[in-house]
Amino acid sequence: MAEINFLIVEDSPTMRQLISFALKRVHGAKIMEATDGIDALKKLSAQKFDLVLTDINMPIMDGLKLVSLIRGNDQHKDMPIIIITTEGADEDRKKGLALGANAYLSKPIQTAELLKLVNEYVRK
């Protein structure tokens, strides 16, 4: 079975565990976690990922900065990125999508919605 490598970037351990729990249901899922943007960049430089899920509000480096840095790197320019926003307001989503994120999810995350979106990008 082909491996699908996911990177979850989220400062909240609760959210990391919740997303990780959901992603384990994707066949062949290999999940890595990062607690902020800098941690994520370190992990991205060490291995290739099939999809990144990132929170927006994080300490040290937020999700928007991370998206812009990923898209600025040729090596990861085609890697799907899903942003996770707390706010119902459109501002973060618009910024994230403008910077190159492929899709967004709003908290509280619904597992079915997350898996549907992930499967869509993993299949691509």
Partner 1 sequence: MDNREGYKDLKARTEDFLQIFRKGEEFTQEVLAENERLRFKLVQLEEENKRARGVDPGRIKTLEEQIASLVEENRRLMERYQEVELENKSFAEKYLEVEMENNNLANLYVASYQLHSTLDFSEAVKTVLEIIMNLVGAEKFAIMLLDEKTMELSAVAAEGIALEDIPSIATGEGIIGRVAADGESYYAADAPGENLELSHPIVCIPLKIKEHVIGVIVIYTLLVQKKEFTDVDYELFSMLAGHAATAIFSSRLYSQSERKLVTIQSFLDLIKEKPA
**Footprint of partner 1 (CB under 8 A):** 12-15, 17-18, 21-22, 86-89, 106-112
Taking the C-alpha atoms of residue 76 and residue 70, their distance in angstroms, rounded to an integer, is 6
Q: How far is the CB of 69 from partner 1 (least distance, A)?
A: 25
67: alpha, beta or left, given left = phi > 0 and alpha = psi -120 to 50?
alpha
Measured from the CB atom, is 45 or 110 closer to partner 1? Answer: 110
Measured from the CB atom, is 22 or 81 closer to partner 1? Answer: 22
Q: How far is the CB of 45 from partner 1 (least distance, A)?
A: 28
Taking the C-alpha atoms of residue 83 and residue 58, their distance in angstroms, rounded to an integer, is 12
Measuring CA to CA, which residue among 46, 34, 48 is closest to residue 4? Answer: 48
Measured from the CB atom, is 2 or 89 closer to partner 1? Answer: 89
